[in-house]
Amino acid sequence: MSENARAERPAVILANLGTPQAPTARAVRPFLREFLSDRRIIEMPPAIWRPILEGIILRVRPARSAKLYESIWYTESNSSPLMYWSLRQRDELAARLDHVADVHLAMRYGEPSIRSVLDQLRDQGVQRVLIIPAYPQYASSSTAPVIDEVARDMLKARNQLEIRTIRSFHDAPVYIEALAAALVNHWDARGRPDFEGGDKLVLSFHSIPEAMHRDGDVYRDECETTAELLRSRLNLDPQWVLTRYQSVFGPAKWIGPATIDTMGELGAVGTTRVDVICPGFVADCIETLDEIARLNRDAFIEAGGSQFHYVPWGNDLPGCIDTFEEVARTGLAGWV
């Protein structure tokens, strides 16, 4: 394909949060600095937050986080799971959209940055770009930072691109079907939980501070909509399905109930089996592989539980790629 023909095609940017380039404190520190300096993530005034970040957090947390990254790092590809699976998603989506649009990967924090990918597309003569934040549920601390960065590019660019953005896809039928298919396939392979005997299915979403929720963030509402649609699709009794929230940090109060607290409670009352799926994470990462598959598993087993199953649904599983394809084709409508 000629460069002119390629430039006339729209581009799709699949944008995720980001990852350090190596499982070392030296690599983690700049990643954390960029992430925790975003006012969408930490809403505290910079004059108060900056000394805490630079004087305390960035002195202690990089080494601790580096050990966690090292425990899940993919040595064969020398990449974090998030980067590995995001690249696979990019390639799989590109194959689905062949002759329709070019697909690129960008990260909000770290590399490849959103601004660098937009500059690359502009240099290639591309004019139309669809941004897909890789977050099924909208949140002002996840989706919004991606769109903010795109907006900052437009504010500075002399040659502005024609931009479309995807807000969320929390209730898209293809997404709900992807979640359901992952669970059904898991149950076909490992046996169905005995829900009538007390086993539970836990849907674990990333939490957000309660202050964000009170101030109008719709994230929790979209998580609950996803949960109800999935429960209905699987025809499960409401008492068998629990919606919980994970990955809290800092002293602020976060929305709950907390996933890890629930694991201890379920184990303590004699629950035999818990299956956990994380509908908000499209790719495995620290939050799924360490927090859920290790810490929450340990909490459940140590409290008296017997069987803990983490059920992946994203990565390069067909349902996940189906979801991205339909979201992309909807967003590209009228351009192709």
Pairing of strands 241-246, 200-206: parallel
SS (H, E, C) 162-215: EEEECCCCCCCHHHHHHHHHHHHHHHHHHCCCCHHHCCEEEEEEECCEHHHHHC
CA 159/CA 263 separation, integer angstroms: 52
Pairing of strands 11-18, 102-109: parallel
Q: Which amino acid is at 61?
A: R
Task: Report CA 276 to chain centroid distance, whole Å.
Answer: 16
Number of Cβ atoms within 10 Å of the Cβ of 144: 18
Backbone angles phi, psi at 273, to 5 degrees: -135, 140
Q: Name the DSSP class of 161.
A: P
What residues are designated binding site for Fe(2+)? 206, 287
What residues are designated binding site? 206, 287
- In the sheet that holds 162-165, the strands lie side by side as 102-109, 11-18, 128-133, 162-165
